[in-house]
Amino acid sequence: MYSEHFTFEKGEPAAVITRVAINQWHAEVDGRVVGSGDVARRPDGRLFVSIDSWHATVFDQLAATLRTKLSRPLYTVVDEAETDLTAGWRRAGFSPGRREWEYSVPTDPAVTGLDATALPPGVTITIASEAPLRELDRAIRAEVEATVGWQAMPAEVRPRPVGDTIVDPSKYAVAVRSGHYVGLIRVVQATRQPRIGLIAVRAAEQRTGVGRALLAHALGVLHRDGISPAYAEVNESNTAATALFDGIGAQRGESNLELVLR
């Protein structure tokens, strides 16, 4: 454990920034903790940082410590409506990397227009089996990584064994053609409302209606269970996904910014 002393602006008390754990720092004034900084490594290897403090000067000193003590690039995610927080990270040298829109998604097919959605010829949708689902997931991730990069996709992130990107196969439905999985959708039941965590289709099957059919299936199941709305997060640079959700009457809500320090 080690400490570093910073002097705030004139008239404000001195603070001590102390590393209290391998992934956490505290800012103290007169023995009181007035802020904390944390770092976590996501499954994709990226370092995400966060700071909790009511005082801009404390925030700035914690940000300076994180900048100094951690390897780059560093990432953080903020609600774009929190302008003071966004400004604090910008003062620390972070800049926008990506923006995600939150969508409220109706499940009634009469509202979304998905009641008229037909399956592409030769395609069926079914509950996923674990082994071929993992094979599909690896294939899609390799295709994405070879093009835009998986970090551009709205993937659910939670701790898991290295290389294991399937959290719970029961949350997936898959599109099947000629006995092979060609697309997947994941729906996570949350306390507030179900989350459409991921829609992904093999490159050769894109723009054939597979993604729309998967969405129609998932929303239809929720509607029959009396659940509405669902929600989803969509990277604004993913024009196909934004067009899909805009086209079924989903409503944009808050936006989140992923900021990066390189």
Global confidence as pTM: 0.79
What is the total count of domains within the chain?
Answer: 2
Helices (H), the chain: 56-69, 83-91, 109-112, 130-145, 210-224, 239-247
262 inside domain: no
The pLDDT of residue 11 is above 80: no
The pLDDT of residue 157 is above 70: no
**pLDDT recorded at residue 3:** 56
**Angstrom distances, CA of residue 104 to CA of 156, 225, 250:** 17, 17, 6
* Residue found by looking up tokens 């604090």 in the block: 88
The 3-state DSSP class for residue 152 equals helix
Same domain, 113 and 48: no
Q: Which domain covers residue 238, as residue numbers?
A: 102-255
pLDDT in tens, 98-109: 899 999 999 999
Strand-pairing partners, residue 21, are 24
Same domain, 122 and 234: yes
Q: Which of 99, 127, 156 is the last residue of a domain?
A: 99
Same domain, 93 and 114: no
H or E element, residue 186: strand 180-188
Same domain, 93 and 189: no
pLDDT in tens, 58-115: 999 999 999 999 999 999 999 999 999 999 999 999 999 989 999 999 999 999 999 9
Which residues 6+ apart lie within 8 Å of 141 measured at CB? 150, 165
Same domain, 133 and 76: no
Average pLDDT over residues 245-262: 95
Which residues 6+ apart lie within 8 Å of 21 measured at CB? none
